[in-house]
Amino acid sequence: MTNFDQNTKYFREAEEAGLLLKGDGRNKSYRTYEFRACGHAQEIKPCHVRVGNFRCNTCLLEKLQQEAEAVGLILIGDGKNCAFKTYKFKECGHTQEIQASFVRRSKSIRCQSCLSERLEQEADAVGLILKGKGKNKNYRTYECKTCGHTQELKPNHVRDDNFRCNKCLLDKLKQEAEAVGLTLIGLGERKNYKEYKFKDCGHMQELSPARVRDNQFRCQTCLSDRLKQEAEKVGLILIGEAKEKAKGYRTYEFKNCGHTQVIDIGCVRNNSFICQTCEDTSFSQPSNIYLIKISNDGKSWLKLGYAKVVNNRYKEYGLPNSALIEEVLVVPIATGKAARELELEIHKRYKKDQLSKRLTKSMGMSISGFGECYPIDMKETLFNCVMGLA
């Protein structure tokens, strides 16, 4: 192909691409073209013109400058690669490499130099030194001036002084554990719990550090083993915890009859118990659910309970002689066990409405019965509940 034919081809390709061929370029691989749309001149490879792989760099530069201006920046030059440009912040004068596409779609850009200075000042205010980046964009690495330990923290936690040195805390927890015969192993499965090992028996257990600090704990594995041995001695099999009772109770199975029963562990230890299913007890005999109104010293409240002999139960409350008792409802129940289950169901249903034990004690119930009491306005609700369940 002659130079004339080649130039004719380049002219035609330029025309088809919206360009005007102006002449030679920097070397034989380039030609100088003028963009018909904007009038800007630019050196482009003819092969790029042929396939439409070009753009006006002058227009692009003007666009980037306008986009930078819109968010308070001045375009300085290129960045580390084709996606980044170097910009200057008008407000502070700092320069920063930023993706041009990020500048384009953002309403404002944060100066990383200013941010770093602010984070350093916030760290210094709470006794820290900012060391660098953290595990992700939400964290930074800090050094504690007091102890020299480094730790990753969220800047907002540093800003609010809401942090502590985890290494110092770990050392403190280890010392507290050592002081009460434990070894700190690591984190527990429950929140705020740690896993410890008992030095004397080797058992592992999750404990609250506060319990360890106050020496308010015991090995539950050793306790369970001891309770099993005590049960075995008196003809019982330990089944497990008693859900509806306090910590001093467990569920046991009688070896001779197979019945299960919730028993106080102290009674098992002292062999002071009977099978309430086999024996004729208050649990198997008829009983009553009662609702009474108690008035004393100008105050009135309700008490819900169960008893075989209701009048005898009133005497156990330790009320003063001036107290008045009015029976609102007494419902006979086939067995004490059924009465107890009914009482528990009602108390569970209205637990949030119960008066505090401290209050009922202060009103005159000095010996017992101060739990499961209710305000007077619960009278109709409790009445209807008992009648509905009984």
The pLDDT-based confidence of 1 (bands split at 50, 70, 90) is: very low
Within this chain, do residues 294 and 378 fall inside the same structural domain, yes or no? yes
The pLDDT-based confidence of 283 (bands split at 50, 70, 90) is: confident
Q: What is the pLDDT of residue 3?
A: 54
How far apart (Å, rounded) are the C-alpha atoms in residues 370 and 304? 11
The pLDDT-based confidence of 313 (bands split at 50, 70, 90) is: confident
The pLDDT-based confidence of 5 (bands split at 50, 70, 90) is: low
Does the residue 275 lie in any domain? Answer: no
42: enclosing H helix or E strand: strand 41-44
3-class DSSP state for residue 202? coil
Segment 303-308 shows an average pLDDT of 91
Within this chain, do residues 296 and 371 fall inside the same structural domain, yes or no? yes
Question: Is 64 within 8 Å of 85 (Cβ atoms)?
Answer: yes
Tokens standing for residue 33: 């073209």
In this predicted model, what pLDDT tens digit does every residue of 131-177 receive, in sequence order?
999 999 999 999 999 999 999 999 999 999 999 998 999 999 999 99
Q: What is the pLDDT of residue 183?
A: 96
74 - beta bridge partners? 88
Tokens standing for residue 308: 């075989």
Within this chain, do residues 344 and 264 fall inside the same structural domain, yes or no? no
What distances in angstroms separate CA 259 from CA 71, 229, 231, 234, one per listed residue? 80, 19, 14, 14
Q: What is the pLDDT of residue 32?
A: 96
Segment 347-368 shows an average pLDDT of 90
Within this chain, do residues 292 and 321 fall inside the same structural domain, yes or no? yes
3-class DSSP state for residue 258? coil
Task: Give the chain's mean pLDDT.
Answer: 91
329: enclosing H helix or E strand: strand 324-333
Nearest Cα neighbor of 100 from 127, 139, 70, 145 is 70
Q: What is the pLDDT of residue 216?
A: 93
Q: Is the C-alpha dihedral spanning 270, 275, 276, 279 positive or negative? A: negative
* Boundary-marking domain end, from 207, 234, 269: 269
Within this chain, do residues 15 and 97 fall inside the same structural domain, yes or no? no
Within this chain, do residues 303 and 350 fall inside the same structural domain, yes or no? yes
User: For residue 45, what is the domain's CATH number?
Assistant: 2.30.30
How far apart (Å, rounded) are the C-alpha atoms in residues 273 and 377? 40
Does the residue 276 lie in any domain? Answer: no
In this predicted model, what pLDDT tens digit does every residue of 229-282 receive, in sequence order?
999 999 999 998 887 666 789 999 999 999 999 999 988 998 888 888 887 666
Tokens standing for residue 240: 């497990």
Within this chain, do residues 243 and 324 fall inside the same structural domain, yes or no? no
Within this chain, do residues 293 and 350 fall inside the same structural domain, yes or no? yes
Does the residue 281 lie in any domain? Answer: no
Segment 14-32 shows an average pLDDT of 94
**pLDDT of 390 over the 80 cut:** no
**pLDDT of 6 over the 70 cut:** no
Within this chain, do residues 139 and 157 fall inside the same structural domain, yes or no? yes
Within this chain, do residues 84 and 19 fall inside the same structural domain, yes or no? no
Does the residue 282 lie in any domain? Answer: no
Q: Over pLDDT 90: what percentage of the chain? A: 77
Q: What is the pLDDT of residue 289?
A: 94
Give the count of domains, the chain: 6
What distances in angstroms separate CA 285 from CA 49, 316, 338, one per listed residue? 104, 20, 10
* This prediction's pTM: 0.49
Which residue segment(s) compose the domain that 321 sits in? 287-389
* Boundary-marking domain end, from 21, 39, 55: 55
**CB count, 10 Å around CB of 341?**
14
Within this chain, do residues 305 and 341 fall inside the same structural domain, yes or no? yes
Q: What is the pLDDT of residue 309?
A: 84
